Amino acid sequence: MSDKIPALLMKEPHVTFAMGTMVQPLSGFDTITGLDLEDFRKLNGGFHFLQGGPLVNDNDMIVDEYYAQQKHLHVGDSVNMMNHDWKIVGIFESGKLARVCVKLKVLQELTGNPGHLSQIFIKVDDPKTAQAVVDQLRAKYPGYQIYTMEEFTSMLSISNVGMLKSFIGVVIGVAVVVGFIVVFMAMYTAVLERTREIGILKAVGSSSALILNILFRETLMLALLGSVVGIALTYGTQWLMQHVVSGSLVQETVYDWWPISMGIAIAGALLGAVVPGIKAVRQDVTEALSYE
């Protein structure tokens, strides 16, 4: 889009301000955004700097706190991005627009797109008129993708990304099956190795029912304890993500999965314990006692 469009949009009814940005993808999930800080201040009050200050020179770059934390960046550091050396001049509070920002004109030149924009943000006089303004702009500028902020952010949810929901479903399904098999095999091996102990219990007069009862209770306790420890460990991974890759990954705790994961662990463990347990109690005592 031409960088002359924001000026045109500002003449539309209810529009109080418009600004354009340029977004250039970097490696992985990272992007670099080119913007005019003064325009951004007019749009929403601007960034709140935690360290350093705004962009002054052409090689200046500002990053948000999570990106700085993940990449171990400080004000005054030099960074090479897009084969260009940048100097970190400010670290801002995250949650606004982007993680990495440079001057709009510099990014346009570097990417060979002078006078071009990726996105335009429009400020209206009243949030209630946003939908009406969008509808009016869609009619006037057909072919452009125009959304309210509400619509735009909802597009970032998984239900709006084609096949992603199915893909995540498959990943969860595989994880459930693998988790079940791992717990089953771990308990199966553990109980199989205790065939001799089961033989000892049988030799001293324990009934099969009593042995299976002991095994059942022990397994249930282990599975419950394991589930609690597993859930506690997810807080560990959450902490790790927040402190190591805070700019790239976020882990959300889905409480609905706690009982499901516990059910998987308990079912896997009980089945894994009871199968070799029944095998061992049915075995001749003398054979069980000679198990090494």
Partner 1 sequence: MSEPGVELPIIETNGLTKTYQVGDVPVRALRGVDLEVRKSEFVAIVGASGSGKSTLFHVLGGLTPPTSGTVRINGRDLASMTDAERTDLRKATVGFVFQKYNLLPTLTAEDNIRIVQYIAGRDTEFDPAFLEVLRLLGIEDRLKHKPRALSGGQQQRVAIARGIVNAPAILLADEPTGNLDSENSAAVLGLMKDLNRRLGQTILMITHDFDAASYADRVVRMRDGCIV
Number of other residues whose CB lies within 10 A of the CB of residue 283: 16
In angstroms, what is the minimal distance from the CB of 185 to partner 1?
21
| Minimum distance, C-beta of residue 285 to partner 1, in the bound complex (Å) | 5
Rounded to whole angstroms, the Cα distance separating 30 from 66 reads: 12
- Pairing status of strand 60-64 against strand 100-103: antiparallel
3-state secondary structure 65-95: HHHHHHHCCCCCCEEEECCEEEEEEEEECCC
Where helices occur in 193-256 by DSSP H, the ranges are: 195-203, 208-244
190 binds partner 1 (CB under 8 A): no
- Considering only 24-32, 147-155, 242-250, 282-290, which stretch makes contact with partner 1 by CB under 8 A? 282-290
Residues 75/46, Cβ–Cβ less than 8 Å:
no
Q: Residue 141 is encoded by which pair of tokens?
A: 């500028």
137 versus 200: smaller Cβ distance to partner 1: 200
Any contact of residue 59 with partner 1 (CB under 8 A)? no
Q: How far is the CB of 210 from partner 1 (least distance, A)?
A: 7
Total number of residues that touch partner 1 (CB under 8 A): 15
> Does residue 39 belong to the site contacting partner 1 (CB under 8 A)?
no
Beta strands in the chain (DSSP E): 15-25, 31-35, 49-52, 60-64, 78-81, 84-92, 100-103, 119-124
Choice between 28 and 205, CB closer to partner 1: 205
Q: Does residue 203 belong to the site contacting partner 1 (CB under 8 A)?
A: yes
Looking up tokens 């324990």, which residue turns up? 206
**All residues at 6 or more sequence positions from 107 whose CB lies less than 8 Å from its CB, including other chains:** 22, 24, 32, 33, 34
| Segment near partner 1 (CB under 8 A); pick from 10-18, 147-155, 256-264, 278-286 | 278-286
- Min dist CB 274 to partner 1, Å, is 19
Instruction: List the one residue from 70, 86, 133, 202 that touches partner 1 (CB under 8 A).
Output: 202
Judged by CB under 8 A, the residue of 156, 204, 229, 232 near partner 1 is 204
Among 205, 232, 252, 255, binds partner 1 (CB under 8 A): 205
Measured from the CB atom, is 190 or 275 closer to partner 1? 190
Q: How many Å apart are CA 240 and CA 124, to the nearest integer?
A: 40
| Interacting residue with partner 1 among 196, 216, 230, 267 (CB under 8 A) | 196
What are the residues binding partner 1 (CB under 8 A)?
196-197, 200-207, 210, 284-286, 289
